[in-house]
Amino acid sequence: MQTELSQKLGVEHAVFGFTPFPAVAAAISRAGGFGVLGAVRYTDPDELKRDLDWVEAHVDGRPYGLDVVMPAKKVEGVTEADVEAMIPEGHRQFVRDTLAEHGVPGLAEGEASGWRITGWMEQVARTQLDVAFDYPIRLLANALGSPPADVVARAHDRDVLVAALAGSARHARKHKDAGIDIVVAQGYEAGGHTGEIASMVLTPEVVDAVAPLPVLAAGGIGSGQQVAAALTLGAQGVWLGSIWLTTTEADLHSPALTRKLLAAGSGDTVRSRALTGKPARQLRTEWTDAWDDPAGPGTLPMPLQGLLVAEAVSRIQKYEVEPLLGTPVGQIVGRMNSERSVQAVFDDLTRGFAQAVDRINRIARGSGQS
């Protein structure tokens, strides 16, 4: 599964795997793909350094990258405390009432929330980059569009390619104008923040909009046949995230969540603002239903919503309160019905890809003879 882009980066397969787990990122690179470690959860630079040290020691010299979340426009002088103060008391009470309704225990006295959304704030992302640029990363991806111009320049000075996600051809053209090297066309089916255009429509639109920049297709891809379809639509690779959540290398710290993912069908996700304030595809739960109910207070804009629900999400995860327990995941969850190693996923991808290419070749030969 090689393309011009995969050859440029020195990887065997044009499969870019986004994951929050260092062990998964390293395994993706070792399997011949391109592992991309998500940095949003690293509010402590020392923790990111520790995990990048681990990745560097376990990729066997293969290339890898980092994914951050930062806005293109900088807001000066705004602290986390300033943002916290903007959260209405009515929304805080709604969180308390919803957790009480489901009997969710509180955290122990002095215990900090294990899940914070502060990684969405620019100053945190910049500290992540200060750490990451000390490592031989080959790719910097930004999930909130084009990163600030100085970040793009800083990456290019280090021969690091910059990728940005786009949910429309209009967004993709803005990335091209901003000097981005790779555009990730993320379709409606994808997990996490996503737009309203399906991958089959979006991918060729973005390919045409930013040519000759390389495009990665994302959203609803979890088989080799789908990889082949993406390349046929003009993409130079695929960007996969959800498929790795149920791999044996993933560290969800929640058997209950793993069970829910393995049991879920393609229709068991929803695009909801409940987690961050922006539409993000995730497992549908009683938590997302509560926030999406017109009778509720409605969600807050990013980053207020993420800060509001951070402790609640930690409590739900810690105590594995199944009716409320969820995670960002795409519609491809319907294919994620067994725990497999990262290498086993790649074996299935390459096998399915070869079958799809062979099928198309047979069709083409038949057409040529008719």
Q: Which of 143-147, 218-222, 298-302 has the lowest mean pLDDT?
A: 143-147
Residue 369 pLDDT: 47
- Residue 370's pLDDT band, with cuts at 50, 70 and 90, is very low
Distance, in Å, from the CA atom of 245 to the CA atom of 326, rounded to the nearest integer, reads 12
Distance, in Å, from the CA atom of 296 to the CA atom of 148, rounded to the nearest integer, reads 36
H-assigned helices in the chain: 4-9, 22-30, 45-58, 80-84, 89-101, 122-132, 149-157, 169-177, 199-210, 224-232, 255-263, 286-292, 304-318, 342-369
Whole-prediction pTM = 0.92
Residue 81 pLDDT: 76
Beta bridge partners of 355: none
Quick count: other Cβ atoms within 10 Å of Cβ 366? Answer: 9
Q: Are 325 and 260 in contact (CB under 8 A)?
A: yes
Beta bridge partners of 65: 36, 139
User: Is 50 exceeded by the pLDDT of residue 320?
Assistant: yes
List C-alpha distances in Å: 69 to 84, 143, 335. Answer: 19, 5, 28
pLDDT, the chain, mean? 92
Spatial CB neighbours of 2, under 8 Å, sequence gap ≥ 6: 12, 13, 14
Distance, in Å, from the CA atom of 39 to the CA atom of 83, rounded to the nearest integer, reads 21
Q: Are 150 and 130 in contact (CB under 8 A)?
A: no
Distance, in Å, from the CA atom of 361 to the CA atom of 28, rounded to the nearest integer, reads 29
Which of residues 253 and 79 earns the better pLDDT score?
A: 253
Helix, strand, or coil here: 231?
A: helix
- List pLDDT tens digits, range 156-174: 999 999 999 999 999 999 9
Beta bridge partners of 217: 185, 238
Distance, in Å, from the CA atom of 230 to the CA atom of 350, rounded to the nearest integer, reads 14
- List pLDDT tens digits, range 62-101: 999 999 988 655 555 566 677 788 999 999 999 999 999 9
Quick count: other Cβ atoms within 10 Å of Cβ 109? Answer: 5
List C-alpha distances in Å: 247 to 23, 132, 150, 161, 295. Answer: 10, 25, 36, 27, 38
Q: Are 36 and 65 in contact (CB under 8 A)?
A: yes
Q: Are 137 and 160 in contact (CB under 8 A)?
A: yes
Q: Rounded to an integer, what is the distance from CA 315 to the centroid of its chain?
A: 23
Report the pLDDT averaged over residues 293-299. Answer: 95
- Identity of residue 85: A
Sheet strands side by side (includes 192-193): 192-193, 280-283, 269-272
